């Protein structure tokens, strides 16, 4: 029998939506196509035969390795390239070069790069290398009922087969959420993994993959438990151990457990100094802990790992941009927190240049330009120069960014040309319309998105806010009466309309607090003044909510009035302290922070049995202590500065040496995250007074 050079082997079951794409991508490369079908009931077999594939019928036994091996047994070629049906060969592959490589090869196996897309945004992909191309006559077999591995029968170990990279790249989209949900692969995988774990409960590899599968099922808490067990028993040299560290850290961050993630990564960053993802995640953890100076070093380590010779994907699973634009964005955020605005702007710009459609880079760049005083049109032009204005999704991206910095007039032409919008984009478009004063048009956009099946709670609330700001009833416009408005919105509607007997139920108070925050988030200040009268708690928290949404002058006026009448709350004291600190009134701000510390301490003592209230007060107390520290350091600097030139003969470098120490300490305190961060849109409201009809 004459052996052919290369066969493409694909495992499939009900893959009619992707198999055609897969087989079309390997045309011109393969001498033989072998599709192992495990019981398709759709057109999978028909599509396979239309490409001339030999179809191997395999009875599914909950064992991926058995199915793979039956396909290998049918091989009539010297070499085999293994694909999944949801993969395709990258178009840039040189087919002639690969065939020539195989004819002259002295190796038994080669690694193939696999680029897996897990989302539809820029950079939402992972890259790793795996042995997929190997000789069919060397006895290689697959082992493992799930997440099967290529091994030599005589070794029987998971890492038994390796090889050099061959230059092939496979594109994989089976990790997209819609693909996982449509085919129920995560549920199937979890069932098989748990079946294996019942027999070998301390199998680190399957515990790790259980964690991955639980993440795909949006169960990060359960995933953390599986990752933790895997971490306890994983061998130090296991090839998947670095990815376990990476994925566990991401799951912990998703759960808000940054302290645990940081502690774990602290033990691992030296071991995986060349793994960009681990360094990047460590930086993200440190930023969550407000350890900005340390985070800065971690992001620099991620960039260094990304620049290092050799492909990290040969050793690790690497997220796109982990060693470049993602790390550069993290470093920019750290620089911004440390007060180095020019450096942050340059880093954001560099990251946007590397990945023009990576939203955090573009948003960070636009925000830094706006803070530096650039006009909205200049910012719009700068973004357009690197992103372009052709694709509707590019227009929507730039419009979202411009809306985020309050450049509503510059954003609206882009929104109007962006074509059909998702419900999320429709809400962002409406926010721009509201900001620009086009309330009726905004309401129409929101109602259309609601009618199209968008999230009712958010869209209906924003539409109601538009109606009330226009002095109209929610649902009062033509065609709106039949929509299912929530009971809370109808109650507010009746109260604002002056309906006799309309009253706010206590059960609605939390919802009303969120609604008032949304009112001020959208810049609807006149409506906010009316809505605060709905309940005394809204009235009490109104100044605080104003401040959190950027209305610093308006909040300051109300807080100073309240101060003459009652004891301010710990949140209010902190807000007023931040405002005075920003005006360099350090002594006055210090007094307020010290009051906030006392009030918070008393609250912690009084609410010892209420864990949530106690924790919130402790957090506020920490912020107030940092504010007091910043004031004290600033006062010390003010006291020393007159002596810099006046007493040059005092010796020992005084007071310059002390000033340097104080400045260094102040930088660290500023980086600790105690001051309220404001977006570009919120910064524009700083000088709006509460009585203005903005």
Residue 476: pLDDT band by 50, 70, 90 thresholds?
Answer: confident
Least confident of 2-6, 67-71, 283-287: 2-6
Separation of alpha carbons 579 and 686, rounded Å = 10
Spatial contact of 490 and 651, defined as CB atoms under 8 Å apart: no
Residue 161: pLDDT band by 50, 70, 90 thresholds?
Answer: confident
Residue 615: pLDDT band by 50, 70, 90 thresholds?
Answer: low
The whole-number average pLDDT for the span 122-134 is: 94
Spatial contact of 290 and 671, defined as CB atoms under 8 Å apart: yes
pLDDT at 255 over 60: yes
Residue 499: pLDDT band by 50, 70, 90 thresholds?
Answer: confident
Instruction: Tell me the per-residue pLDDT of 201-250, one tens digit each, with 9 for 90 and over.
Output: 999 999 999 999 999 999 999 999 999 999 999 999 999 999 999 999 99
With a CB cutoff of 8 Å and minimum separation 6, the contacts of 425 are 396, 400, 418
Percent over 90 (pLDDT), the chain: 78
pLDDT at 156: 45
List alpha helices for 58-184, DSSP H: 64-73, 95-104, 177-183
pLDDT at 478 over 80: no
Cα–Cα distance list, 165 to 32, 97, 139 (Å) = 22, 13, 21
Instruction: Tell me the per-residue pLDDT of 559-578, one tens digit each, with 9 for 90 and over.
Output: 999 999 999 999 999 999 99
User: What's the chain's average pLDDT?
Assistant: 91
Spatial contact of 161 and 151, defined as CB atoms under 8 Å apart: yes
pLDDT at 154: 66
pLDDT at 199 over 90: yes
pLDDT at 405 over 80: yes
- Report CA dihedral (38, 43, 45, 48) to the nearest 10 degrees: -120
Separation of alpha carbons 11 and 87, rounded Å = 11
pLDDT at 482: 77
Residue 646: pLDDT band by 50, 70, 90 thresholds?
Answer: low
The whole-number average pLDDT for the span 151-162 is: 64
Residue 310: pLDDT band by 50, 70, 90 thresholds?
Answer: low
Residue 551: pLDDT band by 50, 70, 90 thresholds?
Answer: very high
Percent over 70 (pLDDT), the chain: 93
pLDDT at 213: 96
Among 3.90.550.10, 1.10.3720.10, 3.30.460.80, 2.40.30.10, name the CATH number for the domain at 4-176. 3.90.550.10
pLDDT at 160: 59
Helices 376-387 and 392-404, interaxial angle, to 10°?
150
**Within the chain, which residue ranges are assigned CATH 3.90.550.10?**
4-176
Residue 689: pLDDT band by 50, 70, 90 thresholds?
Answer: confident
The whole-number average pLDDT for the span 471-479 is: 82
pLDDT at 469: 96
3-state secondary structure of 530: helix
Least confident of 44-48, 341-345, 545-549, 637-641: 637-641
3-state secondary structure of 511: helix
pLDDT at 189: 95
For residue 48, the number of C-alpha atoms closer than 13 Å in the C-beta half-sphere is: 25
- Residue 290, sorted as left (phi over 0), alpha (psi -120 to 50) or beta, turns out to be left
Least confident of 266-270, 356-360, 595-599: 595-599
Q: Say if pTM beats, i.e. exceeds, 0.85.
A: yes
Separation of alpha carbons 557 and 396, rounded Å = 38
Residue 51: pLDDT band by 50, 70, 90 thresholds?
Answer: very high
pLDDT at 604: 67
Q: How many C-beta atoms lie closer than 10 Å to residue 46's C-beta? A: 12
pLDDT at 500: 65
Residue 590: name the closest of 641, 633, 528 by CA: 633
Instruction: Tell me the per-residue pLDDT of 329-353, one tens digit each, with 9 for 90 and over.
Output: 999 999 999 989 999 999 999 999 9
Spatial contact of 19 and 10, defined as CB atoms under 8 Å apart: yes
Residue 483: pLDDT band by 50, 70, 90 thresholds?
Answer: confident
Spatial contact of 125 and 90, defined as CB atoms under 8 Å apart: no
The whole-number average pLDDT for the span 369-392 is: 96
Residue 517: pLDDT band by 50, 70, 90 thresholds?
Answer: very high
pLDDT at 444 over 70: yes
- Residue 406, sorted as left (phi over 0), alpha (psi -120 to 50) or beta, turns out to be left
């Amino acid at each position: 029998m004459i052996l052919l050079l290369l066969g493409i082997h694909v495992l499939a079951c009900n893959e009619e939506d992707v198999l055609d794409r897969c087989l079309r991508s390997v045309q011109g490369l393969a001498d033989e196509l072998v599709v192992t079908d495990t019981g398709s009931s759709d057109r999978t077999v028909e599509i396979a035969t239309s490409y001339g594939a030999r179809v191997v019928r395999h009875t599914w036994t909950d064992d991926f390795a058995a199915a793979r091996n039956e396909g290998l047994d049918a091989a009539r070629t010297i070499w085999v390239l293994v694909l999944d049906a949801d993969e395709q060969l990258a178009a840039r592959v040189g087919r002639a070069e690969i065939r020539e490589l195989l004819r002259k090869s002295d190796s038994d196996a080669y690694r193939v790069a696999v680029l897996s897309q897990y989302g539809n945004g820029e950079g939402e992909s992972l890259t790793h290398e795996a042995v997929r191309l190997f000789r069919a006559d060397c006895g290689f077999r697959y082992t493992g009922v799930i997440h099967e591995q290529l091994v030599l029968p005589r070794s029987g170990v998971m890492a038994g087969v390796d090889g050099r990279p061959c230059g092939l790249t496979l594109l994989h989209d089976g990790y997209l959420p819609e693909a996982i949900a449509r085919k129920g692969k995560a549920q199937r995988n979890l069932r098989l993994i748990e079946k294996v774990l019942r027999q070998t409960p301390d199998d680190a590899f399957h515990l790790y993959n259980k964690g991955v599968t639980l993440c795909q099922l949006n169960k990060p808490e359960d995933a953390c438990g599986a990752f933790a067990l895997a971490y306890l028993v994983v061998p130090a040299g296991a090839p998947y151990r670095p990815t376990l560290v990476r994925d566990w850290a991401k799951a912990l961050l998703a759960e808000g457990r940054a302290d645990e993630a940081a502690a774990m990564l602290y033990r691992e960053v030296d071991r995986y100094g060349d793994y960009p993802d681990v360094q990047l995640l460590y930086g993200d953890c440190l930023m969550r802990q407000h350890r900005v100076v340390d985070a800065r070093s971690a992001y620099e380590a991620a960039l260094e790992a990304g620049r290092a010779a050799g492909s990290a994907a040969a050793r690790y699973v690497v997220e796109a941009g982990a060693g470049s634009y993602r790390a550069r964005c993290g470093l920019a955020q750290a620089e911004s927190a440390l007060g180095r605005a020019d450096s942050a702007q340059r880093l954001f710009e560099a990251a946007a240049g590397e990945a023009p459609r990576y939203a955090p880079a573009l948003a960070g760049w636009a925000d830094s330009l706006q803070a530096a005083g650039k006009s909205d049109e200049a910012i719009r032009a700068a973004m357009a120069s690197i992103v372009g204005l052709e694709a509707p999704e590019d227009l929507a991206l730039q419009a979202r960014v411009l809306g985020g910095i309050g450049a509503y007039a510059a954003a609206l032409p882009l929104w109007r040309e962006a074509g059909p919008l998702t419900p999320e984009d429709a809400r962002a478009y409406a926010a721009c319309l509201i900001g620009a004063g086009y309330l009726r048009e905004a309401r129409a956009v929101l109602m259309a998105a609601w009618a199209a099946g968008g999230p009712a709670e958010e869209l209906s609330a924003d539409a109601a806010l538009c109606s009330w700001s226009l002095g109209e009833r929610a649902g009062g416009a033509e065609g709106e009466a039949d929509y299912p408005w929530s009971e809370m919105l109808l109650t507010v509607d009746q109260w604002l309309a002056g309906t006799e007997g309309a009253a706010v139920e206590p059960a609605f108070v939390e919802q009303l607090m969120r609604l008032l925050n949304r009112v001020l988030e959208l810049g609807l200040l006149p409506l906010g003044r009316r809505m605060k009268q709905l309940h005394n708690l809204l009235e009490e928290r109104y100044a605080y909510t104003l401040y959190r949404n950027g209305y610093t002058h308006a909040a300051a006026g109300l807080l100073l009035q309240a101060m003459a009448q009652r004891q301010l709350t710990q949140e209010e004291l902190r807000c007023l302290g931040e405002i005075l600190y920003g005006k360099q009134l350090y002594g006055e701000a210090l007094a307020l922070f010290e009051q906030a510390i006392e009030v918070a301490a008393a609250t912690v003592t009084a609410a010892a049995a209420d864990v949530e209230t106690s924790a919130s007060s402790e957090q506020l107390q920490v912020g107030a202590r940092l504010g007091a520290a910043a004031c004290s350091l600033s006062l010390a600097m003010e006291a020393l500065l007159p002596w810099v030139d006046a007493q040059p003969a005092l010796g020992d470098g005084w007071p310059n040496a002390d000033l340097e120490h104080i400045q260094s300490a102040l930088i660290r305190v500023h980086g600790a995250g105690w001051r309220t961060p404001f977006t570009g849109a919120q910064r524009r409201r700083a000088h709006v007074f509460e009585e203005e009809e903005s």
